[in-house]
Amino acid sequence: MVSYKVTLFTGNQVAAGTFDRVSVKLVGTEGESERKWLVGFKGASAFIRGAESSFTVCAPTSLGKLVLVEVDKKSLPLLPEDSWFLTKVEVKSPDGDTFTFPVHRWISDSSVHRFREATGLRTLFKCNKLLCNQEDEEE
């Protein structure tokens, strides 16, 4: 069993938090995890305004490089569905790699929302003299 540390960041906007149940699913180049409902010691306050909440998501084998995270929420019985402003999701792999999934949006329904990993990569290419000089100045 392979464990991933998943941290969800709720925004600081007014009414950004939610009391709905939240689940995540990790998708990698080598497989995907089961959908996991996120329940922790914080209880209903796990996704309040400004919260950073971490959970463990397990998979039978390594998922490889993470490429996608799926997030959804469902309202609790007898409570109306509310909106939630999710800023980002960070996942730390067992190998120590950190994958960042920027969200920066309101989630106001019970649909599955998919977000791509967005670590900046520097591509290798043959650059012209002007471009190479500009990159050297930025560093």
Model pLDDT for residues 8-55, shown as the tens digit of each residue: 999 999 999 998 899 999 999 999 999 999 986 676 688 999 999 999
Please check whether residue 11 is in contact with residue 48, taking contact to mean a CB–CB distance below 8 angstroms: no
**pTM > 0.75:** yes
pLDDT of residue 61: 95
CATH code of domain 2-132: 2.60.60.20
Name the average pLDDT for the chain.
86
Amino acid identity of 84?
W
Residue 121 predicted with pLDDT over 70: no
DSSP 107: E
Q: Which residues of 16-131 form beta strands (DSSP E)?
A: 21-28, 31-32, 36-37, 52-59, 66-74, 84-92, 98-107, 113-116
Domain spans of the chain? 2-132
pLDDT in tens, 62-85: 999 999 999 999 988 877 888 999
- CA separation for the pair 131, 121 (Å, rounded): 17
